[in-house]
Structure 1
């Protein structure tokens, strides 16, 4: 009965938290964790840090083509703001997100270096002759149009970037930045580690959402570019974590 009610609640809200379920049902945190683990094994939900999300709202395996068609107007507006963070002669990291692809398309033909694992970004930049392009290489994914794996990560580990631009499946101001698959997750973590400045581009549809894999805490970000109208509590949280917001 308890597991059935958890599934019903999840279908209604899209997300449940272990501590809230524990209080609701009057059982221990460990009991709820076991429930979620069992429901995850049955394919009825996806466990995430601190709770679970509905499979219907999870973005696991979404192809680049599908992502590129989502919220294009919002993303383009945010990309124009992101361009202002780029200086001539900078070394820039771009993940394989559709937001980074739009940024590459809009990037002026200035002298700079772009490091990326994305074929689409390489194609977008190839005629901008002042821009040096460094491709990471590695295992190629047709679905994501990008390179992943140990070769890509090891190449990044040898670099230092002035700034990286990443996107995500979800960002929660308390729990951090989230993504839906290990391929994108691992590259984003590597980009963050080697960058002097980290910029997250996230339209309002991604805010206050979590997914399968945590990329980083909020305090790992230097700049958040979004079109969300913030609640006062969110503004305070970002300010406390030294995140500048556009």
Structure 2
């Protein structure tokens, strides 16, 4: 395959998957990781994509959401490991809020059946938790986004204002030291901000491909979360930079 053809296909893959690791691209195109990095450097200079720690992300602004099925298979091992670590922060009797992320759904699947109150805007999270009779589930209601099977909008935001919780567990599409947390969908960004406002503490769950990335809709500054849970593929320099901002960071190993 010619260099120009490979680079064109790299852009297609990145725009389709939204984020891809260097190792994945190396295997797909049967070239070394160093060759892929040179390709990505060239493509970034041409403003066709953006490099991130250990991978690359699409720069196409995307207000319409990615389907749940697609998100479910993207970085699934990392998301499952992050979810299991997040569960360790939950205690019997807690009141928590879970967003409509895939990581939150993995949390719902793995949560033990113990006395908890969970507020969520995710239909899939609510269904998963309905199987555990000790967990009280409250759905926000609101405007349904069919692709993510989640509720957003003014009704969802107003319903959250009625409650107070111990912890909010949220994910996002981008984590940037200066640009803060961001999401590709403005409705989701607004709702996540409201989730944080009703919580004593916010725990951010984001795999390593999300760091150094800024997407369409701003949520909040990174200092507004008490803890970040990510996978061990994150660059050590980024961990130190986050800790300097007074935010705890937990990294988890990923078994594939």
Q: Give the structure-2-normalised TM-score.
A: 0.74
1:194-214: CA deviation from partner (whole Å, max 9, x where unpaired): 111101111112111110011
Match of 1:216 in 2: 220
The answer on 1:9 being equivalent to 2:46 is: yes
Q: 1:89 to 1:241 in 2, by over 3 A?
A: same
State the distance in 2 between where 1:141 and 1:58 align: 14
Task: Point out where structure 2 has 5 or more consecutive residues left out of the alignment.
Answer: 1-42, 53-57, 251-256
RMSD (CA atoms): 2.2
- Partner of 1:196, secondary structure, is strand
Mapping 1:50-69, distance limit 5 Å: 54-55=59-60, 60-69=64-73
1:191 to 192, 195, 214: 195
Match of 1:201 in 2: 205
State the distance in 2 between where 1:198 and 1:130 align: 23
Q: 1:12 to 1:152 in 2, by over 3 A?
A: closer
Task: List structure 1 segments (4+ residues) > 3 angstroms apart after TM superposition.
Answer: 12-15, 57-60, 228-233
State the distance in 1 between where 2:242 and 2:49 align: 29
State the distance in 2 between where 1:85 and 1:7 align: 38
Q: 1:9 to 1:59 in 2, by over 3 A?
A: farther
- Partner of 2:48, secondary structure, is helix
1:180 to 181, 184, 188: 184
Q: 1:59 to 1:80 in 2, by over 3 A?
A: farther
Contact 1:59-1:169 at 8 Å conserved across structures: no
State the distance in 1 between where 2:169 and 2:139 align: 16
Task: Point out where structure 1 has 5 or more consecutive residues left out of the alignment.
Answer: 1-5, 16-52
Q: 1:81 to 1:11 in 2, by over 3 A?
A: same
Q: 1:126 to 1:12 in 2, by over 3 A?
A: closer
- Partner of 1:214, secondary structure, is strand
The answer on 1:100 being equivalent to 2:137 is: no
State the distance in 2 between where 1:232 and 1:131 align: 37
Q: 1:158 to 1:74 in 2, by over 3 A?
A: same
State the distance in 2 between where 1:156 and 1:61 align: 22
1:242 to 246, 252, 255: 246
The answer on 1:156 being equivalent to 2:160 is: yes
Post-superposition shift, 1:181?
Answer: 0.6
State the distance in 1 between where 2:217 and 2:86 align: 25
Match of 2:115 in 1: 111
Q: Give the structure-1-normalised TM-score.
A: 0.76
1:152-176: CA deviation from partner (whole Å, max 9, x where unpaired): 1001112111001111111112321
State the distance in 2 between where 1:219 and 1:69 align: 30
